[in-house]
Amino acid sequence: MLQGSEMNLKAERTVAIMAEWYTNEGKDNDVVLSTKACIVRNIKGYNFMPRLDDKECQSLLETVDNAVDKSIYNGGNAADFDNETILRLTRLQILGREASQLVEPERKAFYYNDDASLSITVGCGEHLTVKAMKQGHDIGVYKTAEKEALNLESKLDIAFSENYGFLTSNVRLAGTGLKILYTVSLPAISKTEGGIAALTQRVSQYEWTIYPFADRGEIADSDVYIIASVNTLGVTEDELLKRGEMLITDVIKAERACREEIATSKKEQSADIYGRSYGTLRYAGMISRSEALQALGWIRLYHDYDDSGEIKLSWNTLDKITMDILWEPGAPSRKSSQSAASQKYRANGIRNILKGDE
Protein backbone atom coordinates (compact mmCIF):
# COMPACT_ATOMS: atom_id res chain seq x y z
CA MET A 1 0.00 0.00 0.00
CA LEU A 2 1.24 3.50 -0.76
CA GLN A 3 2.53 5.56 2.15
CA GLY A 4 0.93 8.92 2.99
CA SER A 5 3.52 11.24 1.40
CA GLU A 6 3.82 9.08 -1.68
CA MET A 7 0.04 9.06 -1.96
CA ASN A 8 -0.16 12.84 -1.69
CA LEU A 9 2.40 13.23 -4.46
CA LYS A 10 0.42 10.90 -6.66
CA ALA A 11 -2.81 12.73 -5.86
CA GLU A 12 -1.19 16.08 -6.72
CA ARG A 13 0.09 14.71 -10.00
CA THR A 14 -3.36 13.38 -10.71
CA VAL A 15 -5.02 16.70 -10.03
CA ALA A 16 -2.60 18.32 -12.44
CA ILE A 17 -3.10 15.91 -15.32
CA MET A 18 -6.66 14.77 -14.84
CA ALA A 19 -9.00 15.53 -17.70
CA GLU A 20 -12.71 15.78 -17.05
CA TRP A 21 -14.69 12.86 -18.45
CA TYR A 22 -17.83 14.94 -18.71
CA THR A 23 -16.30 17.48 -21.11
CA ASN A 24 -16.10 14.90 -23.91
CA GLU A 25 -18.82 15.17 -26.55
CA GLY A 26 -21.56 12.57 -26.00
CA LYS A 27 -24.56 11.42 -28.02
CA ASP A 28 -27.98 12.97 -27.46
CA ASN A 29 -26.36 15.39 -25.04
CA ASP A 30 -29.10 17.96 -25.57
CA VAL A 31 -31.16 15.74 -23.20
CA VAL A 32 -28.86 13.16 -21.59
CA LEU A 33 -26.09 14.67 -19.49
CA SER A 34 -24.47 11.37 -18.56
CA THR A 35 -24.82 7.60 -18.49
CA LYS A 36 -23.43 5.65 -15.53
CA ALA A 37 -23.10 1.95 -14.71
CA CYS A 38 -22.44 0.86 -11.12
CA ILE A 39 -21.62 -2.71 -10.16
CA VAL A 40 -21.31 -3.68 -6.49
CA ARG A 41 -19.46 -6.71 -5.16
CA ASN A 42 -18.43 -8.14 -1.78
CA ILE A 43 -15.54 -10.37 -0.85
CA LYS A 44 -15.96 -13.72 0.89
CA GLY A 45 -14.32 -14.10 4.27
CA TYR A 46 -15.16 -10.57 5.41
CA ASN A 47 -18.33 -9.38 7.10
CA PHE A 48 -20.25 -6.78 5.13
CA MET A 49 -19.43 -3.14 5.88
CA PRO A 50 -21.91 -2.55 8.74
CA ARG A 51 -20.39 -5.47 10.69
CA LEU A 52 -16.76 -5.10 9.65
CA ASP A 53 -14.43 -4.14 12.50
CA ASP A 54 -11.49 -1.78 11.89
CA LYS A 55 -8.88 -4.52 11.80
CA GLU A 56 -10.81 -6.55 9.25
CA CYS A 57 -11.44 -3.36 7.30
CA GLN A 58 -7.71 -2.62 7.01
CA SER A 59 -7.19 -6.17 5.77
CA LEU A 60 -9.96 -5.68 3.20
CA LEU A 61 -8.41 -2.41 1.99
CA GLU A 62 -5.04 -4.08 1.55
CA THR A 63 -6.55 -7.07 -0.27
CA VAL A 64 -8.31 -4.77 -2.73
CA ASP A 65 -5.28 -2.51 -3.09
CA ASN A 66 -3.23 -5.52 -4.18
CA ALA A 67 -5.85 -6.41 -6.78
CA VAL A 68 -6.14 -2.93 -8.32
CA ASP A 69 -4.05 -2.28 -11.41
CA LYS A 70 -1.90 0.74 -10.51
CA SER A 71 -0.96 1.32 -14.15
CA ILE A 72 -4.58 2.34 -14.76
CA TYR A 73 -5.71 3.75 -11.45
CA ASN A 74 -4.70 6.66 -9.24
CA GLY A 75 -5.83 7.25 -5.69
CA GLY A 76 -5.92 4.99 -2.66
CA ASN A 77 -6.93 5.34 0.98
CA ALA A 78 -9.30 8.29 1.43
CA ALA A 79 -7.53 9.33 4.64
CA ASP A 80 -4.56 10.39 2.48
CA PHE A 81 -6.52 12.75 0.23
CA ASP A 82 -5.91 16.49 0.58
CA ASN A 83 -8.71 19.05 0.26
CA GLU A 84 -7.95 19.88 -3.34
CA THR A 85 -8.23 16.24 -4.35
CA ILE A 86 -11.50 15.87 -2.48
CA LEU A 87 -13.01 18.90 -4.25
CA ARG A 88 -11.77 17.67 -7.58
CA LEU A 89 -13.17 14.17 -7.05
CA THR A 90 -16.50 15.66 -6.05
CA ARG A 91 -16.71 17.69 -9.27
CA LEU A 92 -15.77 14.55 -11.19
CA GLN A 93 -18.71 12.77 -9.51
CA ILE A 94 -16.63 10.12 -7.77
CA LEU A 95 -17.50 11.51 -4.36
CA GLY A 96 -21.02 12.68 -3.49
CA ARG A 97 -21.54 16.45 -3.21
CA GLU A 98 -21.62 16.41 0.56
CA ALA A 99 -18.63 14.07 0.57
CA SER A 100 -20.57 11.93 3.06
CA GLN A 101 -18.52 8.97 1.85
CA LEU A 102 -15.61 10.60 3.60
CA VAL A 103 -16.98 9.91 7.05
CA GLU A 104 -14.41 7.52 8.55
CA PRO A 105 -12.01 8.01 5.60
CA GLU A 106 -9.53 5.52 7.03
CA ARG A 107 -12.10 2.78 6.26
CA LYS A 108 -12.45 3.79 2.61
CA ALA A 109 -10.45 3.91 -0.60
CA PHE A 110 -11.06 5.44 -4.00
CA TYR A 111 -9.25 4.48 -7.20
CA TYR A 112 -9.85 6.31 -10.49
CA ASN A 113 -8.39 6.38 -13.98
CA ASP A 114 -6.90 9.50 -15.55
CA ASP A 115 -10.14 11.15 -16.70
CA ALA A 116 -12.08 9.68 -13.73
CA SER A 117 -14.54 7.97 -16.09
CA LEU A 118 -13.83 4.65 -14.36
CA SER A 119 -13.49 4.20 -10.62
CA ILE A 120 -13.40 1.59 -7.89
CA THR A 121 -14.72 2.58 -4.49
CA VAL A 122 -13.94 0.47 -1.43
CA GLY A 123 -15.98 0.54 1.75
CA CYS A 124 -18.90 2.78 0.75
CA GLY A 125 -21.97 0.68 1.53
CA GLU A 126 -20.52 -2.46 -0.06
CA HIS A 127 -16.95 -3.73 -0.21
CA LEU A 128 -16.51 -2.74 -3.86
CA THR A 129 -18.32 -0.41 -6.23
CA VAL A 130 -17.13 -0.24 -9.81
CA LYS A 131 -18.48 2.82 -11.60
CA ALA A 132 -18.14 3.78 -15.26
CA MET A 133 -19.38 7.15 -16.53
CA LYS A 134 -19.70 8.73 -19.97
CA GLN A 135 -21.00 12.06 -21.13
CA GLY A 136 -24.34 11.90 -22.98
CA HIS A 137 -26.21 8.73 -23.92
CA ASP A 138 -23.80 5.79 -24.04
CA ILE A 139 -24.76 2.38 -22.71
CA GLY A 140 -21.23 1.22 -23.54
CA VAL A 141 -20.49 2.22 -19.93
CA TYR A 142 -21.86 -1.17 -18.91
CA LYS A 143 -19.13 -3.07 -20.74
CA THR A 144 -16.48 -0.75 -19.32
CA ALA A 145 -17.69 -1.39 -15.77
CA GLU A 146 -18.18 -5.10 -16.41
CA LYS A 147 -14.60 -5.45 -17.72
CA GLU A 148 -13.24 -4.08 -14.46
CA ALA A 149 -15.70 -6.13 -12.39
CA LEU A 150 -14.58 -9.29 -14.23
CA ASN A 151 -10.97 -8.41 -13.54
CA LEU A 152 -11.67 -8.07 -9.80
CA GLU A 153 -13.81 -11.23 -9.78
CA SER A 154 -10.90 -13.17 -11.26
CA LYS A 155 -8.49 -11.90 -8.59
CA LEU A 156 -10.74 -11.88 -5.52
CA ASP A 157 -13.05 -14.45 -3.93
CA ILE A 158 -16.42 -12.78 -4.55
CA ALA A 159 -19.54 -13.56 -2.48
CA PHE A 160 -21.98 -15.30 -4.82
CA SER A 161 -24.95 -17.62 -4.40
CA GLU A 162 -26.74 -19.59 -7.12
CA ASN A 163 -30.10 -18.52 -5.72
CA TYR A 164 -29.47 -14.84 -5.08
CA GLY A 165 -26.55 -14.05 -7.37
CA PHE A 166 -23.96 -11.59 -6.07
CA LEU A 167 -24.56 -11.10 -2.34
CA THR A 168 -24.73 -7.59 -0.97
CA SER A 169 -25.26 -5.95 2.39
CA ASN A 170 -28.16 -3.96 0.97
CA VAL A 171 -30.55 -6.74 -0.08
CA ARG A 172 -32.10 -4.45 -2.69
CA LEU A 173 -28.87 -4.77 -4.67
CA ALA A 174 -28.48 -8.55 -4.33
CA GLY A 175 -28.51 -10.31 -7.69
CA THR A 176 -26.69 -8.64 -10.52
CA GLY A 177 -25.57 -5.82 -8.20
CA LEU A 178 -25.98 -3.58 -11.24
CA LYS A 179 -27.49 -0.12 -11.48
CA ILE A 180 -27.72 1.93 -14.67
CA LEU A 181 -28.35 5.64 -14.26
CA TYR A 182 -29.12 8.24 -16.91
CA THR A 183 -28.90 11.88 -15.80
CA VAL A 184 -31.31 13.83 -17.98
CA SER A 185 -32.24 17.48 -18.29
CA LEU A 186 -35.96 17.83 -19.02
CA PRO A 187 -36.87 21.52 -19.05
CA ALA A 188 -39.66 21.11 -21.60
CA ILE A 189 -41.35 18.08 -20.01
CA SER A 190 -41.10 19.85 -16.63
CA LYS A 191 -42.87 22.90 -18.08
CA THR A 192 -45.58 20.78 -19.76
CA GLU A 193 -48.63 20.33 -17.57
CA GLY A 194 -48.74 16.76 -16.28
CA GLY A 195 -45.49 16.02 -18.12
CA ILE A 196 -43.47 14.66 -15.23
CA ALA A 197 -46.43 12.64 -13.91
CA ALA A 198 -46.90 11.01 -17.30
CA LEU A 199 -43.19 10.37 -17.59
CA THR A 200 -43.09 8.80 -14.13
CA GLN A 201 -45.86 6.43 -15.16
CA ARG A 202 -44.02 5.59 -18.36
CA VAL A 203 -40.78 4.90 -16.50
CA SER A 204 -42.51 2.60 -14.01
CA GLN A 205 -43.94 0.56 -16.88
CA TYR A 206 -40.36 -0.37 -17.68
CA GLU A 207 -39.84 -1.18 -13.97
CA TRP A 208 -37.30 1.64 -13.73
CA THR A 209 -37.53 4.71 -11.54
CA ILE A 210 -37.15 8.47 -11.95
CA TYR A 211 -36.33 11.03 -9.26
CA PRO A 212 -35.16 14.65 -9.20
CA PHE A 213 -31.46 15.42 -8.94
CA ALA A 214 -31.24 16.20 -5.22
CA ASP A 215 -29.52 14.66 -2.25
CA ARG A 216 -31.51 13.35 0.70
CA GLY A 217 -33.22 16.21 2.51
CA GLU A 218 -32.63 18.67 -0.31
CA ILE A 219 -35.29 20.43 -2.33
CA ALA A 220 -34.85 19.81 -6.04
CA ASP A 221 -33.85 23.10 -7.64
CA SER A 222 -33.48 22.14 -11.28
CA ASP A 223 -35.25 20.23 -14.04
CA VAL A 224 -32.53 17.59 -14.00
CA TYR A 225 -33.66 14.05 -13.18
CA ILE A 226 -32.05 10.66 -12.67
CA ILE A 227 -33.61 7.71 -14.48
CA ALA A 228 -32.34 4.55 -12.79
CA SER A 229 -32.80 0.80 -13.06
CA VAL A 230 -34.46 -0.99 -10.14
CA ASN A 231 -34.35 -4.73 -10.75
CA THR A 232 -31.32 -6.81 -9.88
CA LEU A 233 -33.26 -10.10 -9.76
CA GLY A 234 -35.46 -11.83 -12.31
CA VAL A 235 -33.76 -10.03 -15.16
CA THR A 236 -30.51 -10.57 -17.03
CA GLU A 237 -28.03 -7.78 -17.54
CA ASP A 238 -28.85 -7.79 -21.24
CA GLU A 239 -32.60 -7.46 -20.65
CA LEU A 240 -32.00 -4.64 -18.22
CA LEU A 241 -29.82 -2.73 -20.69
CA LYS A 242 -32.28 -3.24 -23.54
CA ARG A 243 -35.17 -2.04 -21.42
CA GLY A 244 -33.15 1.00 -20.38
CA GLU A 245 -32.29 1.82 -23.98
CA MET A 246 -35.96 1.62 -25.01
CA LEU A 247 -36.90 3.83 -22.11
CA ILE A 248 -34.24 6.50 -22.64
CA THR A 249 -35.10 6.62 -26.35
CA ASP A 250 -38.71 7.36 -25.40
CA VAL A 251 -37.61 10.04 -22.94
CA ILE A 252 -35.35 11.77 -25.47
CA LYS A 253 -38.11 11.82 -28.08
CA ALA A 254 -40.67 13.08 -25.58
CA GLU A 255 -38.43 15.90 -24.34
CA ARG A 256 -37.59 17.02 -27.86
CA ALA A 257 -41.24 16.94 -28.87
CA CYS A 258 -42.16 19.06 -25.86
CA ARG A 259 -39.36 21.51 -26.67
CA GLU A 260 -40.64 21.84 -30.21
CA GLU A 261 -44.17 22.36 -28.98
CA ILE A 262 -43.17 25.10 -26.53
CA ALA A 263 -40.64 26.78 -28.83
CA THR A 264 -43.05 26.97 -31.77
CA SER A 265 -46.33 27.67 -30.01
CA LYS A 266 -44.82 30.35 -27.74
CA LYS A 267 -41.96 31.46 -29.91
CA GLU A 268 -41.74 35.10 -28.87
CA GLN A 269 -41.89 34.42 -25.16
CA SER A 270 -39.43 31.53 -25.44
CA ALA A 271 -36.97 33.59 -27.50
CA ASP A 272 -37.23 36.40 -24.98
CA ILE A 273 -36.54 34.20 -21.96
CA TYR A 274 -33.75 32.46 -23.87
CA GLY A 275 -31.97 35.75 -24.54
CA ARG A 276 -32.49 37.02 -21.01
CA SER A 277 -31.23 33.74 -19.54
CA TYR A 278 -28.09 33.88 -21.63
CA GLY A 279 -27.54 37.50 -20.65
CA THR A 280 -27.88 36.65 -16.98
CA LEU A 281 -25.37 33.82 -17.18
CA ARG A 282 -22.96 35.73 -19.42
CA TYR A 283 -22.86 38.99 -17.47
CA ALA A 284 -24.07 38.39 -13.90
CA GLY A 285 -21.58 39.32 -11.20
CA MET A 286 -23.32 37.11 -8.65
CA ILE A 287 -25.69 34.23 -9.27
CA SER A 288 -27.38 31.65 -7.06
CA ARG A 289 -27.29 27.97 -7.94
CA SER A 290 -31.03 27.83 -8.45
CA GLU A 291 -31.10 30.91 -10.74
CA ALA A 292 -28.25 29.55 -12.82
CA LEU A 293 -29.94 26.16 -13.23
CA GLN A 294 -33.25 27.75 -14.23
CA ALA A 295 -31.48 29.91 -16.84
CA LEU A 296 -29.63 26.88 -18.19
CA GLY A 297 -32.96 25.04 -18.48
CA TRP A 298 -34.45 27.78 -20.67
CA ILE A 299 -31.33 27.95 -22.84
CA ARG A 300 -31.45 24.19 -23.30
CA LEU A 301 -35.14 24.33 -24.22
CA TYR A 302 -34.79 26.96 -26.96
CA HIS A 303 -31.21 26.32 -28.09
CA ASP A 304 -32.09 24.46 -31.31
CA TYR A 305 -34.83 26.92 -32.25
CA ASP A 306 -32.82 30.15 -31.98
CA ASP A 307 -32.53 31.40 -35.55
CA SER A 308 -31.01 34.78 -34.69
CA GLY A 309 -27.52 33.31 -34.65
CA GLU A 310 -26.41 35.87 -32.09
CA ILE A 311 -25.73 33.45 -29.27
CA LYS A 312 -22.88 31.05 -29.87
CA LEU A 313 -23.03 28.19 -27.42
CA SER A 314 -22.30 24.50 -27.98
CA TRP A 315 -24.20 21.69 -26.29
CA ASN A 316 -20.95 20.54 -24.78
CA THR A 317 -20.40 23.90 -23.08
CA LEU A 318 -23.98 23.94 -21.86
CA ASP A 319 -23.54 20.46 -20.40
CA LYS A 320 -20.25 21.34 -18.75
CA ILE A 321 -21.72 24.38 -17.01
CA THR A 322 -24.79 22.41 -15.95
CA MET A 323 -22.72 19.60 -14.45
CA ASP A 324 -20.27 22.00 -12.82
CA ILE A 325 -23.16 23.66 -11.01
CA LEU A 326 -25.04 20.47 -10.19
CA TRP A 327 -21.92 18.90 -8.70
CA GLU A 328 -20.70 21.89 -6.76
CA PRO A 329 -19.33 20.55 -3.49
CA GLY A 330 -21.81 21.24 -0.70
CA ALA A 331 -25.58 20.94 -0.80
CA PRO A 332 -27.70 23.89 -2.04
CA SER A 333 -29.39 24.10 1.36
CA ARG A 334 -26.07 24.95 2.94
CA LYS A 335 -25.54 28.61 3.71
CA SER A 336 -22.02 28.50 2.29
CA SER A 337 -23.33 27.81 -1.22
CA GLN A 338 -25.68 30.82 -0.99
CA SER A 339 -23.10 33.26 0.36
CA ALA A 340 -22.06 36.32 -1.66
CA ALA A 341 -18.56 34.89 -2.13
CA SER A 342 -19.97 31.64 -3.40
CA GLN A 343 -22.35 33.43 -5.81
CA LYS A 344 -19.49 35.58 -7.12
CA TYR A 345 -17.28 32.54 -7.60
CA ARG A 346 -20.07 30.71 -9.47
CA ALA A 347 -20.88 33.70 -11.72
CA ASN A 348 -17.20 34.22 -12.52
CA GLY A 349 -16.79 30.55 -13.48
CA ILE A 350 -19.82 30.63 -15.78
CA ARG A 351 -18.71 33.93 -17.41
CA ASN A 352 -15.28 32.55 -18.15
CA ILE A 353 -16.64 29.39 -19.77
CA LEU A 354 -19.16 31.32 -21.89
CA LYS A 355 -16.53 33.87 -22.92
CA GLY A 356 -14.32 31.04 -24.10
CA ASP A 357 -17.13 29.62 -26.25
CA GLU A 358 -17.83 32.89 -28.14
Site for another protein in 60-79 (CB under 8 A): none
Stretch that binds another protein, among 84-92, 234-242, 274-282, 348-356 (CB under 8 A): 234-242
Near another protein by CB under 8 A: residue from 201, 314, 333, 352 = 201
Closest by CA to 75, choosing from 106, 38, 121, 44, is 121
Nearer to another protein, 143 or 276 (CB): 143
The residues, ordered by sequence, that sit 6+ positions from 135 with a Cβ below 8 Å of its Cβ are: 21, 22, 23, 24, 25, 26, 29, 33, 34, 319
In the range 297-336, which residues lie near another protein by CB under 8 A?
304
DSSP string, 180-207: EEEEEE-HHHHHSTTHHHHHHHHHHHTT
- For another protein, which is the closer residue by CB, 113 or 168? 168
206 belongs to the binding site for another protein (CB under 8 A) = yes
Between 50 and 309, name the residue whose CB sits nearer to another protein.
50
Subset of residues 258 to 297 that bind another protein, contact rule: CB under 8 A = 258, 260-261
CA 17 to each of CA 11, 14, 116, 229, 249: distance values in angstroms, whole numbers, following the listed order: 10, 5, 11, 33, 35
Q: For residues 288 and 316, which CB has a smaller minimum distance to another protein in the complex?
A: 316
CB of residue 146 to another protein, shortest distance in Å: 6
Q: Which is nearer to another protein, 220 or 286 (CB)?
A: 220
Stretch of residues binding another protein (CB under 8 A), selected from 6-14, 200-208, 288-296, 329-337:
200-208
Of 70, 99, 72, the C-alpha closest to 83 is 99
Nearest to 234 by CA among 175, 299, 178, 286: 175
Q: Smallest gap, in angstroms, from Cβ of residue 305 to another protein?
A: 11
| Gap between the terminal Cα atoms of the chain | 47
Angle between helices 141-155 and 237-265 (to 10 degrees): 150
299 CB-contact burial (10 Å; exposed 0-12 / middle 13-18 / buried 19+): buried
Specify which residues 194 forms β-bridges with.
none
Q: Does 30 engage in binding with another protein (CB under 8 A)?
A: yes
Question: Quick one: which segment of 13-21, 24-32, 326-334, 343-351 binds another protein (CB under 8 A)?
Answer: 24-32
Minimum Å gap between C-beta 210 and another protein is: 9
What is the β-pairing status of strands 128-135 and 160-161? Answer: unpaired
| Count of residues that bind another protein according to CB under 8 A | 77
Site for another protein in 133-162 (CB under 8 A): 137-140, 142-144, 146, 150, 153-154, 158-162
**Rounded to the nearest whole angstrom, what is the least distance from the CB of residue 31 to another protein in the complex?**
9
Q: State the nearest-atom distance from the C-beta of 47 to another protein, in Å.
A: 4
175 backbone φψ class: left, alpha, beta (φ>0; ψ -120 to 50): left
219 binds another protein (CB under 8 A): no
